[in-house]
Amino acid sequence: AKKTGDVTELQIGVKHKPATCEVQAHKGDKVKVHYRGKLTDGTVFDSSFERNNPIDFELGSGQVIKGWDQGLLGMCLGEKRKLKIPAKLGYGEQGSPPTIPGGATLIFDTELVGVNDKSLNEEKQNSEL
């Protein structure tokens, strides 16, 4: 049963692109990402913005769901993307109980805030205060 808003392929929407792209995220880079994850009905199941604690992981090495490993490639530092991720690139048919039902399309608002040793200027300034 296909619900409204479900996708079968990964969809990437660029919400904001920085004026200059200093550094891009490639496979094998250590990246820091702020994210808000929603189901297609609008339920937010996870958000690093609320915790003010971005996730860091190695891109393209299977530490996160496939939709992220694919959807964040080539992203510029400071870029914001909206990812619509089909279940096969998310948590699949089994889902991630109790928050994510099986077969769920996931919608992530993501912001790339760090690549390897480079981070967004705001972060640098804050750390010196």
Whether residue 72 is contained in a domain is answered as: yes
Contact 32, 54 (CB under 8 A): yes
Residue 2 maps to a domain: no
Place of tokens 């690093």: 48
**Is residue 3 in a domain?**
no
Domain membership of residue 6 (yes or no) is: no
Count Cβ neighbours within 10 Å for each residue of 26-41 and write b for 16 or more, e otherwise.
eeebebbbbbbbbbee
- Positions marked catalytic: 35, 45-46, 65, 91, 108
Q: How many CA atoms lie within 13 A of 121 on its CB side?
A: 4
Instruction: Tell me the whole-structure pTM to 2 decimals.
Output: 0.89
- Please write the tens of the pLDDT for every residue from 55-82: 999 999 999 999 999 999 999 999 999 9
What pLDDT, in 10s, does the model give residues 43-52? 999 999 999 9
pLDDT at 4: 74
Give me the domain span that covers residue 91: 11-128
The number of folded domains in the chain is 1
CATH number, domain of 95, equals 3.10.50.40
